[in-house]
Amino acid sequence: MDERDFGTDFLKNFYVPDFIFDPEAIEETNHEVPRCPIIVFINSKSGGQLGGDLLKTYRELLNGSQVFDLGEEAPDKALHKLYMNLERLKSSGSEFAAEIQRKLRIIVAGGDGTAGWILGVVCDLKLAQPPPVATVPLGTGNNLPFSFGWGKKNPGTDSQSVKSFLEQVMKAKEMKIDSWHIMMKMKAPKEGSCDPIAPLELPHSLHAFHRLSDSDALNEVGNHTYRGGFWNYFSMGMDAQVSYAFHSERKLHPERFKNQLINQGTYAKLGCTQGWFAASLFHPSSRNIAQLAKVKILNREGKWIKLDIPRSIRSIVCLNLPSFSGGFNPWGTPSKRRKAYRDLTEPFVDDGFIEVVGFRDAWHGLVLLAPKGHGTRLAQTQRIRFEFHKGAADHTFMRIDGEPWKQPLPVDDDTVVVDISHHAQVSMLANEGCKSKSIQDPTPSLSGHHDDEGSNEESDEDSTEERKKFGAADTFKFPEETDISHLS
């Protein structure tokens, strides 16, 4: 535990007074502008008891008005109200409000799903000065906080630990991060193991909308279209199946998942029982990605080309950050020879390209434990499309930023399409030990190992306002009955 004496005035660096949040309050003139004003969003149901304990500590140290429990108030409502009030104060000549808006930073405590929720809100609100976000790891994988130097172990919840974290937030640097839009189009299944698709069976970041162009082949009665977004990864295949088994077990027995180490142990055990260490014996070749889907990518010249996937690949990951499954980097760092031969680059989080990686089985995944280990590098692209037709299987498993689901596949002449494209950017706060790299500052931020080895075509519906919102303000509102403890 950090035993530094932060001094009696330390917390003034972060304190935001009540009148900033309350439009009925009169502006107080006796406040100095804090050096690092913050607002805090905490998923009190994350991390077992830790979320609730952390909420209590933050409210004791700061103004309770600047600490929000996501179980009580959605972030889109909280931020919209805050920024409306800031604009009101600024219009009345408040320099204090203007400085708060300019310096404001956000802390979000929860799993990757919770962090993605907040990032989606910030992105969709399209603020003139969007606040950068720091993440407190309260989930199982914690890929987002790990990618930006905030660790992956659950934090301490005492006042000293929180003060130490606040100090890091004050010193952290801003780094842009790409966001990715995903659109899924399919006919409603009439029968099968996935009938019907209950809304809560899909990730919270995927939600229905109905504004298809008249020329779209799927614009027919009975077709469903979902769109959403992600920050870290979209995956399909064996890893998503294990994740789905884990989440299903947690829904059935939530009392067994109160400890991060126990959760991780259960996850590893499920990886074994699902048979992915002997995939050739337990899983038919019909589960291989090449037989499940036709895959196309938009190359650097802006042309659609077929992506040839080796027949042995049973899992595919479209990765934005250098952290997957609790801290592994499936892409690694291509050598100079690989860069020249295959036109591959290092994985930057703000270059508008996503890394596509494949795995054969769980043993292949274990190569990530080696310093130079990586999966099968398939492509770097600004857009990728999966088309599923009748054939190999009646379902597969997919996952977005830790949220898995069981996806029905066509059983007749229908087509399921998953289209992923670059969307926008938001700012993260990067701490010391940040694993992510920016194309604006390509200097390695970690001890990187080198291994041995145009235009964007838009369909009509992709250019609509519906596409521009994927995670928040008007479109990403969690149903009131949603249990946010399942946002891993």
DSSP sequence for 28-51: PSS-PPPSS-EEEEE-TTTTTTHH
Q: How far apart are CA 132 and CA 105, in angstroms?
A: 5
Identify the DSSP state of 182.
E
Q: How far apart are CA 364 and CA 310, in angstroms?
A: 14
Length of the chain equals 488
Token code pair at residue 118:
């907040």
Tens digit of each residue's pLDDT (9 = 90 or more) over 75-132: 999 999 999 999 999 999 999 999 999 999 999 999 888 898 899 899 888 888 899 9
Q: Write phi, then psi, for 90 (nearest 5 degrees).
A: -65, -40
Higher pLDDT among residues 404 and 458, named by residue: 404
Token code pair at residue 234:
């979209």
Query: Is residue 450 classed as helix, strand or coil in its secondary structure?
Result: coil
Q: How far apart are CA 434 and CA 147, in angstroms?
A: 6
Strand-pair partners of 404: 399
User: Is 150 within 8 Å of 136 (Cβ atoms)?
Assistant: yes
User: Is 477 within 8 Å of 74 (Cβ atoms)?
Assistant: yes
Say which residues have a Cβ less than 8 Å from residue 167's Cβ, sequence separation at least 6.
6, 10
pLDDT at 337: 64
Say which residues have a Cβ less than 8 Å from residue 101's Cβ, sequence separation at least 6.
83, 86, 90, 129
Token code pair at residue 309:
């996937």
For residue 64, pLDDT over 70 is answered with yes
**How many angstroms from the chain centroid is the CA of residue 178?**
11
Tens digit of each residue's pLDDT (9 = 90 or more) over 255-291: 565 555 555 555 555 555 554 444 454 455 556 888 8
Residue type at position 24: E
Q: How far apart are CA 382 and CA 185, in angstroms?
A: 20
For residue 437, pLDDT over 60 is answered with yes
pTM: 0.80
Percentage with pLDDT > 90 across the chain: 38
Token code pair at residue 161:
């630990």
Nearest to 445 by CA among 340, 354, 337, 321: 321
Neighbours of 259 (CB within 10 A): 15
Token code pair at residue 323:
């952290």
Q: What is the average pLDDT across 163-168?
A: 96
Nearest to 357 by CA among 395, 409, 299, 315: 315
Q: What is the average pLDDT across 121-149?
A: 90
Token code pair at residue 174:
């801003």
Is the sign of the CA dihedral 323, 325, 330, 331 positive or negative? negative
**How many angstroms from the chain centroid is the CA of residue 363?**
26
Higher pLDDT among residues 445 and 113, named by residue: 113
Q: How far apart are CA 422 and CA 480, in angstroms?
A: 30
**Average pLDDT score over the chain:** 78
Q: How far apart are CA 404 and CA 235, in angstroms?
A: 9
